[in-house]
Amino acid sequence: MPSRQQAPQTTADVASLREEWQKQKEMANLKRVFAMLDSDSNGLIGEKELNRALLRIGCRAKPGETADMIWEVDENCDGFVDWPEFVSMFDRCISDTTGLEPRGLFQLVEFLMHDSNNGGTISRDELMEILYSRFGKDQLLKKTREFFPKAAANGVEAAITFVEFKRFMTAIKPKRKTNRERAQAVLKPGG
């Protein structure tokens, strides 16, 4: 008997829909961040644009830092990051379980994706959300205990700057979860 298109029945179906939905949302957000970084809208992100983006969130790049961020992902070696290079960088970093992928540009992009009002900070809740979906519960509890006593001592409570975010994300290395594991973690917050 031919089967009709049906509502999802199993946890795997729901997880796969959730995964698809999450991917679409992520892609839209990624486009928003690319457009923001590409401030002259020529389809390429260059050093000057990265420097300006970092300044906007209160972070002055060290000499050569933005050149390195580009060089790490510049597959056609033109000195700029185009959209395909941008997406491929994001995919590589998000699915990296070795911790070996260069993360200079990725950390900035991940931060900007969550700083949705371009205020230069993300909330502690937003950070928790990133960590939970990317690293799972065990890492989250362990690492936040290590990090937040120090952060609180500096008077940092609710708002996290890019510099703090970078320090934190550099301190915790993957094991990152796969997309499917991430989707399932969202479905089953206890598991």
> Which residues make up the interface to Ca ion (CB under 5 A)?
38, 40, 42, 44, 74, 76, 78, 80
Distance CA 59, CA 53 (A): 9
Closest distance between Ca ion and the C-beta of residue 38, in Å? 4
Residue closer to Ca ion by CB (options 76, 170) is 76
Residue closer to Ca ion by CB (options 49, 164) is 49
Closest CA to 121 of 134, 112, 129: 112
Residue closer to Ca ion by CB (options 48, 175) is 48
From residue 152, give the alpha-carbon distance in Å to each of 38, 141, 156, 160: 35, 16, 5, 11
Question: Which residues does 185 contact at the CB level (< 8 Å), separation at least 6?
Answer: 132, 133, 136, 177, 191
Residue closer to Ca ion by CB (options 56, 166) is 56
Closest distance between Ca ion and the C-beta of residue 57, in Å? 18
From residue 109, give the alpha-carbon distance in Å to each of 17, 48, 102, 131, 152: 25, 16, 13, 15, 25
Closest distance between Ca ion and the C-beta of residue 110, in Å? 20
End-to-end Cα spacing for the chain: 37
Say if residue 48 is exposed, middle or buried (CB neighbours under 10 Å; 0-12, 13-18, 19+).
exposed
Closest distance between Ca ion and the C-beta of residue 135, in Å? 30
Closest distance between Ca ion and the C-beta of residue 106, in Å? 16
Residue closer to Ca ion by CB (options 101, 181) is 101
